[in-house]
Amino acid sequence: MISQKIVEAINGQIKEEFYSAYLYLALAAHYEAAHLKGFYQWLMAQYEEEMQHAIKFYNYLLERDGKIELLQIDKPPTDFPPPHEAFKLAYAHEKKITGLINDLYHLAQTEKDPAFEQFLRWFIEEQVEEEEGTLAIVGKLEKIGKDPTGLFMLDGQLGQQKEAGKSE
């Protein structure tokens, strides 16, 4: 039997994962409008991954006979700074999600729910990859600075990575 605390926490995490998807979708729209197709493709792939994460939590809660309660999703920003700052925001957001996953893992331990602990291990590893990939882009953007040639080269790289199914 799944505890009520875990049910509530999973419902909260579903909301956070949907917000993450919403954030990446908003960023993708911004870069599509800026004609940076590689950034757009990378961000759309992130959007799809975040949607999958939300559904994994959703399905897990259903499998454990927990009650789904879809919470209101906050509106993502609509104005974004230049790519370097926007990807710093994305990196900070990934770190926030990592913290939330870690909190869930500690809750699973506190509530003595080894099945939930096991389920969360995949997310823990996934967040390491998410942070690493986003931070790598931040690092490249820092090196590029305001050089438009470098920005367009990175745009091409990001588009090729997502076409090949790689996140970074």
Domain ranges (residues) in the chain: 4-163
Please tell me the distance from the alpha carbon of residue 9 to that of residue 21, in angstroms, as a whole number. 18
Indicate if the pLDDT at residue 78 is higher than 80.
yes
Reported as a pLDDT band with limits 50, 70 and 90, residue 98 is very high
Q: Is residue 117 a contact partner of residue 2, using CB atoms and an 8 Å limit?
A: no
| Fold classification of 4-163 (topology level) | Ferritin (1.20.1260)
Please tell me the distance from the alpha carbon of residue 123 to that of residue 94, in angstroms, as a whole number. 12
Indicate if the pLDDT at residue 50 is higher than 80.
yes
Mean pLDDT of 16-31: 97
pLDDT at 87: 96
Return the number of other C-beta atoms located less than 10 Å from residue 147's C-beta. 11
Q: CB-hemisphere CA count at 13 Å for 145?
A: 1
Reported as a pLDDT band with limits 50, 70 and 90, residue 161 is confident
Query: Checking phi first, is residue 68 left (phi over 0); if not, alpha (psi -120 to 50) or beta?
Result: beta
Length of the chain equals 168
> Which tokens belong to 165?
């199914």
Please tell me the distance from the alpha carbon of residue 70 to that of residue 62, in angstroms, as a whole number. 13
* DSSP-derived secondary structure letter, 80: -
Indicate if the pLDDT at residue 42 is higher than 90.
yes
pLDDT at 164: 53
> For residue 119, which of 57, 73, 167 has the smallest C-alpha distance?
57
